[in-house]
Every structure is written in C-alpha cells, then in structure tokens.
Amino acid sequence: MQIFFATSNRGKISEAKEKLGPTGHEISPLIIDGMPPKFIEPQSEHLEEVAFAKLSQARQMVLGSEMEDCAILVEDSGIFIESLSGFPGVFSSFVEDKIGLSGILSILSEEENRSAEYRATCFLETKEGIFKSKGICSGEISRAISGELGFGYDPIFIPVEGDGRTFGQMSSEEKSQLSHRGMALKGLSEMLIRPSK
Ligand code: IMP
C-alpha cells in the first residue's frame, strides 16, 4: 500500500520507511503544492489529540487531489522529562528550537533524577478505517551531548533498554528496535496484516 506520511520531519520519514518498508508498504512524504503540510496544532497537552487534529487537517488538504483516496499517516511525539513534570512533552519541537539540547542540559544540571520518556502516537487512515498505535521508550537524559545520529533530543537520550549509548550514537536500525516511534509503527504494521473480519 502507498502511504503518505504528513510530516516535515525527515527523521520521522526515514524511520517510517525503515519500519514499514519491509512489510511491503511504500512510505512517501505528503507534499501539497511542493511543501509538506503545515498544521495548526490544537492547544492540548495530549499527543493523541494533536495527532488526530493533524489527521483531520491532512484529510482536508488532500480533498480533490489525486491523493484523496490514499492512505495517510500522521504522528505526534515528544519527550517527557519526569523532574520537569513531563515538560517539554507536546512542546518538544518548540523547546528544541528555542533553547536547544544545551538549554535542557543546563536546566537539569543540578538534577539527580534524569528519567524521561519518549512517547509517540500514530494514526493511519486507509480505506478500511482509522488505525491508532502508540509507543513509549523509557530512558534518561545524559549529562552531555553525545552522538550525531538521529534527530531532535537523540544526542541526550539514553534508552533504558540500550547499552548506555544515546540514540544519537546508534544507527537508525538500532534506534528503531527500541524507540517509541518504532514501537508505534510496528503496532500499525501488525494491524495492517491482521485479516479483517
Ligand atoms: P512533532 O513533530 O510536533 O510531533 O514534534 C516532535 C518533536 O519531539 C521533535 O521535533 C523532537 O523535538 C521531539 N522528538 C520526538 N521524537 C523524537 C525522536 O525520536 N528523537 C528525537 N527527538 C524526538
């Protein structure tokens, strides 16, 4: 199945290609008038609400185009830091742009509790209906920026189930075995191969 992923984040697109490609699905970025879609995100602290709003807006955007009947994938994700009561959460992208990873490390410089988790919620709409899948990856915020791979907070996030390296030090194959998005996309791919009743 051809799936259009409505995101401007190239890191997310390559992770989705890696996870869903081997299951026979072709992932392409959703491009409208030469641009990835720009969403108006609702004022919500919940990834699910934000992701669903993206899906509704993407559907509106493809009305009347050759992509109108195609499958559309959306995702919303963020990093939730325990000692900051879940901040930046749904604001992760904004906070990354404003203060960067060094800003986060300096906010946490005196903090012993480094626990954090990445969370992702995906919606995939196909002719069969709307599928939802979530993933969580527990970890810790490192003391220093390490690695240049991945994107976003990866160089300061050490997954609990890893070997002590940050996601920024892991190949995308290694990351997707452990990551929130890998888990959410795997869930979707399993729903797609399940025979419908
Ligand atoms: P969204 O595009 O509104 O869902 O923003 C997601 C933001 O959360 C990204 O821009 C990153 O700041 C952060 N984020 C989510 N998933 C990841 C990941 O896998 N690695 C690094 N940062 C991530």
What's the pLDDT tens digit per position in 152-164? 999 999 999 999 9
How far is ligand 1, taken at its centre, from the CA of residue 92, in Å? 6
Strand partners, 123: 74, 132
Contact (Cβ atoms closer than 8 angstroms) between residue 58 and residue 6: yes
With a 6 Å cutoff on the Cβ, whether 39 touches ligand 1 is no
Can you tell me the mean pLDDT for 2-19? 93
> Which pLDDT score, from 0 to 100, does residue 195 have?
57
Kindly state the average pLDDT of the residues 59-79. 94
pLDDT at 188: 92
196 pLDDT band, cuts 50/70/90, is low
Indicate which atom in ligand 1 lies nearest the CA of residue 88. Answer: 8
pLDDT band, very low/low/confident/very high, at 22 (cuts 50, 70, 90): confident
The residues near 109 (Cβ < 8 Å, ≥ 6 apart) are none
- Residue 156 main-chain phi, psi, to 5 deg: -125, 10
Distance CA 51, CA 30 (A): 15
Q: Give the ligand 1 atom nearest the CA of 175.
A: 19
The confidence score (pLDDT) of residue 197 equals 47
CA-to-CA distance for 134 and 120, rounded, in angstroms?
Answer: 6
Q: Whose CA is nearest to atom 12 of ligand 1?
A: 93
Q: Relative to the CA of 78, which ligand 1 atom is closest?
A: 8
Contacts of 113 (CB under 8 A, 6+ apart): 82, 83
Query: Cβ(8) to ligand 1 under 6 A?
Result: no
Confidence at residue 124, expressed as pLDDT on a 0 to 100 scale:
96
pLDDT in tens, 107-149: 999 999 999 999 999 999 999 999 999 999 999 999 999 999 9
Any ligand 1 atom below 6 A from CB of 77: yes
> Are 6 and 72 contacting, i.e. CB atoms less than 8 angstroms apart?
yes
Q: How confident is the model at residue 21 (pLDDT cuts 50, 70, 90)?
A: confident
Q: How far is CA 81 from the centre of its chain?
A: 16
DSSP state letters, 21-83: GGGTPEEEE--BTTB-------S-S-HHHHHHHHHHHHHHHHTTSTTTTSEEEEEEEEEEEGG
Give the pLDDT confidence score for residue 83 in this predicted structure. 98
Q: Does 117 contact ligand 1 (Cβ within 6 A)?
A: no
Ligand 1, atom 5: closest residue by C-alpha:
93
Looking at the annotation, which residues are catalytic? 76
pLDDT in tens, 178-189: 999 999 999 998
Distance CA 108, CA 112 (A): 8
pLDDT of residue 86: 97
Residue 120 CA to ligand 1 center (angstroms) comes to: 9
Neighbours of 154 (CB within 10 A): 24
Contacts 24+ apart (CB under 8 A), 49-54: 50/76, 50/90, 51/75, 51/76, 51/121, 51/122, 51/123, 52/123, 54/6, 54/123
Residues above pLDDT 90, as percent of the chain: 84
* Model pTM score: 0.94
